[in-house]
Amino acid sequence: MNIPLEMFILGAFVIGLFSIAAFRTAGGVGIVSALGAFALSFLCAKIIINGTLVQNIGGIDEAGNIVQGVTVIQVPALSYVFLFVAVVMVIQFINQVISEIRFQVSPDIEVFE
């Protein structure tokens, strides 16, 4: 199964939105955002490594025929960036869960430090 480059870029944008939401919100929204960000980060890292990311190329040749093709994109260094984001989001997820547990035990404490 090939994944177009445009969908991959959209996935990276969603990771960015989830990451921002995980750091700016508290409670259930922050927990779900952190979960989504690190799940998508691991997925994007895997997509980069195993060679399913492709760029669709199309055009018209001199005879007027439509020519289509794909180019496989593999950037192993980019997978490390996604893995780093995933590790950071796991840490943020654990932080959010601990903050939520503390708030459930004692609701009068200040959640935002």
Give me the amino acid identity at 8.
F
The fraction of the chain above a pLDDT of 90, given in percent, is 7
Q: Is residue 19 part of a domain?
A: yes
Rounded distance between C-alpha atoms, residue 1 and residue 63, angstroms: 31
Average model confidence (pLDDT) for the chain?
84
pTM: 0.74
Q: Is residue 111 part of a domain?
A: no
Range of the structural domain that residue 10 is part of: 3-105
If one compares 52 and 112, the residue with the highest pLDDT of the two is 52
Say if residues 82 and 43 touch (Cβ distance below 8 Å): no
The answer to whether residue 111 scores a pLDDT higher than 60 is no
pLDDT in tens, 92-110: 889 888 888 887 777 665 6
How many structural domains does the chain have? 1
- Residue 35 is encoded by which pair of tokens? 């979960």
Residue recorded with tokens 């780093």: 84
DSSP state of 112: -
Q: Is residue 113 part of a domain?
A: no
Q: Is residue 57 part of a domain?
A: yes
Q: Is residue 112 part of a domain?
A: no
What pLDDT sits at residue 14?
92
pLDDT in tens, 19-52: 888 888 878 888 888 889 989 999 888 888 887 8
The answer to whether residue 83 scores a pLDDT higher than 80 is yes
Give the residue from 4, 6, 40 showing the smallest Cα distance to 21. 40
